[in-house]
């Protein structure tokens, strides 16, 4: 994960450009460290498509009405009413769609926000749903306490008092602990072995795309043969294991093209050891446009 953590991530002000274009949300003095807002207050300002990107903050959605479709790496998730969706800083994400009637809450925060005297939080250890290999979608069967805590967090944001950061962090910790109860109670995936192996493969692609170059290398980590991995992926997704590897390379290339000043030749080598001309042909065959054209797209 060392190389992955070196990839630049968008801070809140930067990913606002991805979401809203020229419009800016009304924010508090804690915005770069903590922010919460009702989805219905900004949904009409969203600019689609929201391009794939990585953020410098952890974030979650809690939808109370309608739906949103968000991505984690190569997988899309429909976040419906009474569901919680979350991501850590290391995950590529995009916003694929929202319903016209969507309502709920969006919140982001820095891990350092929990560096308070009364707290000792290791986010991904204490709240495992933020881990790269975890299912990011949690069904909430009883929303009363969840909604109460979200309303408190919104009220704290509106107060806009930086000296209440410790209190906000305590409320946010309480909220995440309540979510963890539903995470623990959620039955683990009952999907068949092929689906489970495919998801593990997707997780590894997200984690090791810069370190491993072939399906065989990923199959070795998963302790299966390349042929078995291919059959499982094909059964589950209708695509080959190599096609998913190529999709992950394209996704990483999109992030590097938009979030870094790296030359296209450098990106070509970084994501697969490509020659620049080969990379341009590869990228265009998958996206319909050249790397340069993608870089010049408006966020």
Count other C-beta atoms under 10 Å from residue 249's C-beta: 22
pLDDT (tens digit, 0 to 9) for every residue of the chain, 299 residues total?
A: 444 556 678 999 888 888 888 888 889 999 999 999 999 999 999 988 888 999 999 999 999 999 999 999 999 999 999 999 999 998 999 999 999 999 999 999 999 999 988 898 999 999 999 998 888 999 999 999 999 999 999 999 999 999 999 999 999 999 999 999 999 876 665 568 899 899 999 999 998 988 888 999 999 999 999 999 999 999 999 999 999 999 999 999 999 999 999 999 999 999 888 899 999 999 999 999 999 999 998 76
Break the chain into its structural domains and give their ranges: 2-185, 193-295
- The CATH code for residues 2-185 is 2.60.120.280
**In terms of CATH, what superfamily is 193-295?**
Homeodomain-like (1.10.10.60)
The residue written with tokens 């429909």 in the block is: 78
The pTM is what?
0.89
The backbone torsions φ and ψ at residue 62, rounded to the nearest 5 degrees and listed phi first, read -130, 110
């Amino acid at each position: 994960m060392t190389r992955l953590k070196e990839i630049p991530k968008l801070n809140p002000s930067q990913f606002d450009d991805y979401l809203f274009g020229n419009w800016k949300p009304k924010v508090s003095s804690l915005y770069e460290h903590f922010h919460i807002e009702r989805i219905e207050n900004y949904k009409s300002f969203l600019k689609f498509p929201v391009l794939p990107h990585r953020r410098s903050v952890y974030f979650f959605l809690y939808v109370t009405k309608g739906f949103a479709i968000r991505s984690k790496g190569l997988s899309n998730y429909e976040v419906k009413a009474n569901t919680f969706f979350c991501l850590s800083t290391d995950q590529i994400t995009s916003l694929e769609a929202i319903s016209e009637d969507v309502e709920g809450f969006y919140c982001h925060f820095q891990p350092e926000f929990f560096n308070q005297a009364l707290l000792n939080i290791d986010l991904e250890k204490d709240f495992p749903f933020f881990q790269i290999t975890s299912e990011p979608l949690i069904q909430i069967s009883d929303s009363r306490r969840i909604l109460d805590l979200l309303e408190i967090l919104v009220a704290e944001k509106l107060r806009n008092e930086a000296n209440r950061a410790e209190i906000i962090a305590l409320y946010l910790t309480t909220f995440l602990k309540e979510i963890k109860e539903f995470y623990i109670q959620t039955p683990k995936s009952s999907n068949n072995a092929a689906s489970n192996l495919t998801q593990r493969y997707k997780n590894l692609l997200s984690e090791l795309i810069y370190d491993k170059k072939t399906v065989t290398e990923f199959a070795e980590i998963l302790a299966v043969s390349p042929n078995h991995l291919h059959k499982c992926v094909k059964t589950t997704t209708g695509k080959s294991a190599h096609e998913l590897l190529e999709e992950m390379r394209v996704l990483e290339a999109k992030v590097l093209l938009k979030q870094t000043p790296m030359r296209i030749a450098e990106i070509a080598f970084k994501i697969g050891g490509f020659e620049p001309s080969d990379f341009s042909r590869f990228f265009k065959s998958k996206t319909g446009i050249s790397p340069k054209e993608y870089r010049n797209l408006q966020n």
